[in-house]
Chains A and B, each alone.
Chain A
């Protein structure tokens, strides 16, 4: 783990932009024929001194380069610019439930948020092994394939069209989000609401817990 942390730091240090796949997504990659889904993702720019200044205020809580050591605060590194921006604006406008984030997001302008987003998209999502329930992971994997995979592509490793990176995200955070979606406290796209409701109808509330365990367990994309 020490090595991972060090390399993440080294990257943060140089400010080099290694990990920005979602920012360069192209329409050619998108096999989904849902027209609404297709939009050009905002591209990353070099991190400005002001961007670094702002991001520095985030990483005390969210971890080095945005990769959290948990147990609950989410990793925000590697998050696509549009996903980050939408999330911050939703927090700021009170449209997304939170404990502390809503209070903090109100302190930032659109320009500030853009600068922060531009920093975190450049940072590598560093995963830390966490305890998950193998039976739930197994069930969750099937549920993911049947219900989620179309948007949460590549096992949840990819952040595209606001999907966020779910693979290796902290379990309590995933559980909070699933609970908030289910309680209709957090808005979700219509397509997701349909899939989620269908999943719960067929598999019960426990399915929310199972998909959370599945995503939390995903540590290595290549080992999939």
Chain B
């Protein structure tokens, strides 16, 4: 053994000793945690619970054997990516000792601490609910599940994504693509505008006589300045040849009704009829319906939680993370769900071990790809504020990409966006 090896060995010894003293065996061992939902929040909660305390009995329940990420699904819709590249499964998570059940949770008795999966009843010590969102059928008149087979929302990735792509491919040149965007809050705030960008990119190269019209229930949207700048640079935004037109709520953009049989939407105060060759309706959303079935949602359809632990304000020992929960400044976004899941896992492990939880740390990073070699981002670091149980961004940090960044920086952001995808999906499924 040389000097370096000696130093390493002793250092390792002392460090390991420090760590092994964590007394999880005393309290956490064998306790059951069930995680409902295998998306950006649920996979991470399950995996990090095991990482933080391997003695826990962790079960992840997910409806679908295959998971398609919403992130990068706009690239599939724009034709730059195959849908197989956003398809993942839960096999590798099993190697961490997580029990994976592919099945649907139909209900539960939170007082008895049980949930129902098919005809089975499972009991838990702690429950994590990460159901994502469900569409509020009927919130836009005429838009129900059947209508979504004609006018896809594609706001959950998978068959809906493939359907919208297929419709764009089949559309004749000269067609109008309508995208309707909902009021806040909803999943992936920059998503409709990233989608408009990547559809415009497809049209530019394949159907240049066509255009995208975004009909919005809002007068502002995430990364608006950056999107509009990109649209000017890439898609002629603001000219009569523009491939993208954005109609705000104030400019007759709010859609109140759709007619799937006519492929029409009705927008503005007078309910003007607009017929699209392809119509993508992104409807208002609420927490995934299992959250409502379990009594975890409020009147608005979202789940109030303790912002430090993500324990439901409406049920003890039940935690809600991701798009379904109310997390103040944190958007309904994959990285936010990832970050919340890790904080939640730490809270659960601390509680089961009878320890005080460490101060939480939250981050969100979100990239939008608006064209070839053109990415933009938003980022934030948040702290927990105990005085009003809120998650607040650290002042002076975070924000969006620089307004007049160089082409080189936009290209770098696109590559960092691709890296974000590779690393977050490995975090989830690896």
A residues whose Cβ falls under 8 Å from a Cβ of B: 2, 5-6, 9, 12-18, 20-21, 24, 26, 28-29, 43-50, 52-54, 56-64, 68-73, 99-100, 103-108, 112, 122, 170, 172, 176, 179
Instruction: List A contacts of B50 (CB < 8 A).
Output: 13
Question: Contact at B418–A72, with CB atoms within 8 Å?
Answer: yes
B47, closest chain A residue (CB): A9
Question: Contact at B377–A99, with CB atoms within 8 Å?
Answer: yes
**With A53-B359, A104-B379 as contacts: A9 and B430 at CB distance below 8 Å:** yes
B392 CB, nearest partner CB in chain A, Å: 11
State which of B12, B399, B422 has its C-beta within 8 Å of the C-beta of A69. Answer: B422
Question: Contact at A16–B19, with CB atoms within 8 Å?
Answer: yes
Question: Contact at B430–A5, with CB atoms within 8 Å?
Answer: yes
Binds A, one of B99-107, B196-204, B408-416: B408-416
Instruction: List A contacts of B14 (CB < 8 A).
Output: 46
**With A64-B426, A103-B379, A106-B396 as contacts: A56 and B48 at CB distance below 8 Å:** yes
A51, closest chain B residue (CB): B358
State which of A12, A17, A99, A107 has its C-beta within 8 Å of the C-beta of B413. Answer: A99
Question: Contact at B358–A57, with CB atoms within 8 Å?
Answer: no
Instruction: List B contacts of A17 (CB < 8 A).
Output: 11-12, 15-16
Complex: A14 Cα to B359 Cα, angstroms: 21
Interface residue? B368 (CB, 8 A): no
Question: Contact at A13–B54, with CB atoms within 8 Å?
Answer: yes
Instruction: List B contacts of A29 (CB < 8 A).
Output: 4
B423 CB, nearest partner CB in chain A, Å: 5
Complex: A135 Cα to B304 Cα, angstroms: 59
A125 CB, nearest partner CB in chain B, Å: 15
Question: Contact at A106–B394, with CB atoms within 8 Å?
Answer: yes
The DSSP consensus for interface residues of chain B is helix
Binds A, one of B114-122, B185-193, B242-250, B337-345: B337-345
Per CB-CB distance, the 6 closest pairs between chain A and chain B, nearest first, are A107-B381, A107-B397, A73-B419, A72-B415, A106-B397, A46-B18
Interface residue? B361 (CB, 8 A): yes
Instruction: List A contacts of B408 (CB < 8 A).
Output: 179
**With A59-B427, A103-B397 as contacts: A49 and B8 at CB distance below 8 Å:** no
Question: Contact at A57–B424, with CB atoms within 8 Å?
Answer: no
**With A21-B4, A176-B412 as contacts: A53 and B419 at CB distance below 8 Å:** no
Question: Contact at A18–B424, with CB atoms within 8 Å?
Answer: no
Question: Contact at B346–A49, with CB atoms within 8 Å?
Answer: yes
Instruction: List B contacts of A71 (CB < 8 A).
Output: 415, 418-419, 422
State which of A26, A60, A73, A99 has its C-beta within 8 Å of the C-beta of B401. Answer: A99
Interface residue? B167 (CB, 8 A): no
**With A56-B48, A73-B420 as contacts: A104 and B363 at CB distance below 8 Å:** yes
Question: Contact at B361–A5, with CB atoms within 8 Å?
Answer: no
State which of B12, B343, B362, B416 has its C-beta within 8 Å of the C-beta of A99. Answer: B416
28 contacts between A and B (CB under 8 A): A2-B92, A13-B51, A16-B12, A16-B15, A17-B12, A18-B12, A28-B3, A46-B18, A46-B19, A49-B358, A53-B342, A56-B361, A57-B361, A57-B362, A59-B423, A60-B339, A62-B423, A63-B423, A69-B426, A71-B418, A99-B401, A100-B365, A100-B377, A100-B401, A103-B379, A108-B381, A170-B419, A172-B412
Complex: A71 Cα to B48 Cα, angstroms: 25
Instruction: List B contacts of A58 (CB < 8 A).
Output: 363
Instruction: List A contacts of B415 (CB < 8 A).
Output: 71-72, 172
State which of A28, A54, A56, A104 has its C-beta within 8 Å of the C-beta of B398. Answer: A104
Of residues 379 through 411 on chain B, the ones whose CB sits less than 8 Å from some CB of chain A are 379-382, 394, 396-399, 401, 405, 408-409
Instruction: List A contacts of B65 (CB < 8 A).
Output: none
Complex: A108 Cα to B381 Cα, angstroms: 8
Question: Contact at B423–A44, with CB atoms within 8 Å?
Answer: no
Complex: A129 Cα to B164 Cα, angstroms: 36
B11 CB, nearest partner CB in chain A, Å: 7
B210 CB, nearest partner CB in chain A, Å: 32
A127 CB, nearest partner CB in chain B, Å: 15
Interface residue? B227 (CB, 8 A): no
State which of A20, A105, A107 has its C-beta within 8 Å of the C-beta of B11. Answer: A20
Question: Contact at A61–B12, with CB atoms within 8 Å?
Answer: no
Most buried by B among A59, A122, A179: A59
Of residues 342 through 368 on chain B, the ones whose CB sits less than 8 Å from some CB of chain A are 342-343, 346, 358-363, 365
Instruction: List B contacts of A170 (CB < 8 A).
Output: 419
Interface residue? B335 (CB, 8 A): yes
